[in-house]
Amino acid sequence: MSIPPILLAGLAAGGAALGRGLFAGYPDRRVAHGLLSGKEEAVVAACADTFFPSGGPIPISGTQAGLVEYFEKYFARLPEGQRILVRLLVWFIEHGPWVFGPRRVRFTDLAERDRLAVLESMRTSPIYFRRVAFLSMRTMLTMGYLAHPDVARAMRMSANTSPFESRAA
């Protein structure tokens, strides 16, 4: 049995669109020798600037606070098994809008308003895994944001990222 050419063309076009949707169209990596891919860094940057926009109460955006670099260092310290879970988390956030909406595109392709809607729908979702994914990403990025010296100064706080280490007198 022969496959009709129109079906082959449709499959090829669908495969090309899926390949582009999953792997192509991302900026170059920010951290040259890091463990995260350009795609993963782009997702982290989009989340960082959505949680912490430049026009927010603290005028330092997530990317200005170095959250991509912070996330890279955090990721590098994780055991291999946990790295796999964090990669899955990043992929879930990037491709979640295809399944859950509001628009059927990648998270990084959404306007800030739509990214906020995605994160809000994750936060309030009846699906436990979506809520945990939201909390996980928000927690990791908030740790990095609050650890940035300019953010700490803007909040009039003293960042202490190692509170359990003894201090030299």
Beta-carbon contacts of 82 under 8 Å, excluding residues fewer than 6 positions away, are: none
Displacement of CA 33 from its chain's centroid (Å)? 19
- What pLDDT does 33 receive? 81
Please report which confidence band the pLDDT of residue 26 belongs to, taking 50, 70 and 90 as the band edges: confident
pLDDT value of position 55: 86
Q: Do 94 and 105 contact (CB within 8 A), yes or no?
A: no
Predicted pLDDT of residue 19: 46
- In angstroms, the CA 168 to CA 86 distance is 35
| Residue located via tokens 């609050």 | 146
List, for residues 149-160, the tens digit of each pLDDT value: 999 899 888 766
Mean model confidence pLDDT for the chain: 87
CA distances from 111 to 2, 87, 136, 137 (A): 44, 23, 22, 19
The predicted structure's pLDDT at residue 21: 52
What does the pLDDT read at residue 158? 74
